[in-house]
Amino acid sequence: MPKKNVAVVFMLLVLAIIGCVICYQLGKTSGNSNDPDAELRADSASGKKPLNLICELKVNIPQSDLSSPRQSHTQMVIANIDFTNLSGWYQGQFAISESRKGSVTTEGSVLHVRRPALFPRFGVMISGEEFTIDRATGEFRQKISIQDGRTIELMSGYCGSYAKAPF
């Protein structure tokens, strides 16, 4: 009889440990379930490490000039915010790219990345490019500034953090 009691106590102990591990894991993942992407606000946003993002964007670019019909498609791009150097980039096709970073400023939960420019495109002179990422929602918006003072939004979508492979 005592051997059966020891076996029952041992089994209950093992089940209790498994239950605790499951509860711990559930609590750990459910804390982030309501958040679009916790890393957008966590260590990266506080300046401790770069914020690496992957974004799914709807691109809406004029075909030849600003009055021409727009060509729309979706595109996946990578973006990065470096809080140490206050710079940022995305895989853009205008003034901002990985080799031509923009400067980062914050306004509430929104990160603004801007870069001045001066080149012709769509029949007008482009004077700058900006993209924003809302850390609360993950929303991405990109627009260009034209020399006459107008701004035109060309891309929008949502971003989430990604981890680079360790190799």
The tens digit of pLDDT for each residue in 41-97 reads 444 445 568 899 999 999 998 888 888 888 899 999 999 999 999 999 998 777 788
Q: Quick one: what percent of the chain has pLDDT higher than 90?
A: 46
Q: How many domains does the chain have?
A: 2
Whether 119 and 50 map to the same domain: the answer is: yes
What is the average pLDDT across 120-147? 92
Whether 91 and 79 map to the same domain: the answer is: yes
Bridge partners of 102, per DSSP, are: 88
What is the average pLDDT across 148-160? 93
Name the pLDDT band for 32 (thresholds 50, 70, 90). very low
Tell me the CATH number at 86: 2.40.160
Query: Is residue 66 assigned to a domain?
Result: yes
At 33 the pLDDT is: 43
Whether 3 and 63 map to the same domain: the answer is: no
CA distance 56 to 162: 13
CA distance 104 to 130: 10
Whether 47 and 29 map to the same domain: the answer is: no
Name the pLDDT band for 37 (thresholds 50, 70, 90). very low
Whether 48 and 125 map to the same domain: the answer is: yes
Query: Is residue 65 assigned to a domain?
Result: yes
CA distance 161 to 52: 6
**Domain span at 18:** 1-34
According to DSSP, the β-strands at 51-62 and 139-146 are unpaired
Task: Single out the residue of 109, 103, 97 nearest to residue 138, CA to CA.
Answer: 109
Whether 88 and 133 map to the same domain: the answer is: yes
Whether 28 and 101 map to the same domain: the answer is: no
CA distance 75 to 72: 10
Whether 59 and 2 map to the same domain: the answer is: no
Higher-scoring residue by pLDDT: 57, 13: 57
Query: Is residue 58 assigned to a domain?
Result: yes
Name the pLDDT band for 113 (thresholds 50, 70, 90). very high
Bridge partners of 158, per DSSP, are: 56, 139
Whether 116 and 64 map to the same domain: the answer is: yes
Query: Is residue 71 assigned to a domain?
Result: yes
Give the pair of three-digit tokens for residue 122.
């769509």
Query: Is residue 166 assigned to a domain?
Result: no
Whether 57 and 2 map to the same domain: the answer is: no
Whether 30 and 46 map to the same domain: the answer is: no
Query: Is residue 17 assigned to a domain?
Result: yes
Higher-scoring residue by pLDDT: 118, 45: 118
Query: Is residue 25 assigned to a domain?
Result: yes
Whether 27 and 58 map to the same domain: the answer is: no
Do the Cβ atoms of 132 and 141 come closer than 8 Å? yes
